[in-house]
């Protein structure tokens, strides 16, 4: 199948390059596909009644030190993996799940590529893997790259 718009979601941890290399293989088979790369930063949430909203979207503060570091890491990730993205974005969302799914809908993504760290114990019970949480709601094909144990930044 030839894809038109591929979304690579990255947590920018040290094993993210494994997922990037899989994306490169897919893109080699779809030379007309455009690549977008998405990294969602953790953001403080503000509650308005029953709704949660990322604090940075209210204050417009997406140029703070945390955001600058994330953008710099994303630029290095793209360069290190020799990826040519038409759109590379660092954004905040209420949750990684919602942010990824919304991006797929808004940008007409037809292939999502994401890594999956295996979680054990209470972490698996409380949080689960982002990939597991988004797959039932993803509006496109998905490639989930199984990664070894979680790594630290």
What the chain holds in terms of domains, given with CATH numbers, is 5-147 (3.40.50.620)
Return the pLDDT at 105: 94
Return the pLDDT at 125: 46
DSSP letters, 52-103, are EEEHHHHH---SSHHHHHHHHHHHHHHHHTT---SEEEEEE-SSHHHHHHHH
Return the pLDDT at 123: 47
Question: Is the model's pTM score more than 0.85?
Answer: no
Alpha carbon distance 101, 91 (integer Å) = 13
């Amino acid at each position: 199948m030839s894809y038109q718009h591929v979304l690579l979601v990255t947590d920018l941890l040290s094993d993210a390059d494994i997922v990037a290399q899989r994306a490169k293989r897919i893109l080699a088979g779809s030379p007309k596909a455009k690549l977008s790369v998405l990294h969602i930063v953790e953001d403080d949430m503000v509650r308005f009644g029953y709704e949660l909203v990322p604090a940075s979207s209210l204050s417009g503060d997406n140029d703070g030190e945390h955001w600058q570091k994330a953008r710099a890491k994303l630029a290095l990730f793209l360069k290190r993996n020799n990826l040519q993205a038409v759109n590379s974005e660092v954004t905040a969302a209420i949750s990684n799940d919602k942010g990824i799914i919304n991006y797929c809908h808004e940008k007409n993504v037809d292939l999502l590529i994401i890594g999956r760290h295996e979680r054990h114990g209470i972490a698996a019970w409380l949080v689960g893997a982002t990939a597991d949480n988004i797959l039932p709601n993803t509006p496109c094909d998905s490639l989930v790259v199984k990664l070894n144990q979680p790594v630290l930044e």
